Amino acid sequence: MTEKEIEQSIKNVKATLAIENLNINKLNIKDGEKYLKGQITSKEAIEHITQYIRSKQLKQ
């Protein structure tokens, strides 16, 4: 994907989540960009997001 296509994909995801009244944080955006650029696998992206969610849950 080109940078422009990646940027558009991220915008689409943000819009879809906004319709569902959900937000996406900068870490998830970076993981998404890395995935779309082929720098990490989908499994790695899911693991990063899962770790982030678990760390937030532990703080509550």
DSSP 4-46: HHHHHHHHHHHHHHHHTT----HHHHHHHHHHHTTSS-HHHHH
Domain boundaries, the chain: 3-59
pLDDT grade for 8, boundaries at 50, 70 and 90? very high
Q: What are phi and psi of 33, to 5 degrees?
A: -65, -45
Q: Please give the structure tokens belonging to residue 17.
A: 């989540």
Rounded distance between C-alpha atoms, residue 13 and residue 8, angstroms: 9
Q: Is the pLDDT of residue 53 over 90?
A: no
pLDDT for 10-35, tens place per residue?
999 999 999 999 888 898 899 999 99
pTM: 0.74
Q: Please give the structure tokens belonging to residue 28.
A: 């998830």
Rounded distance between C-alpha atoms, residue 45 and residue 38, angstroms: 11
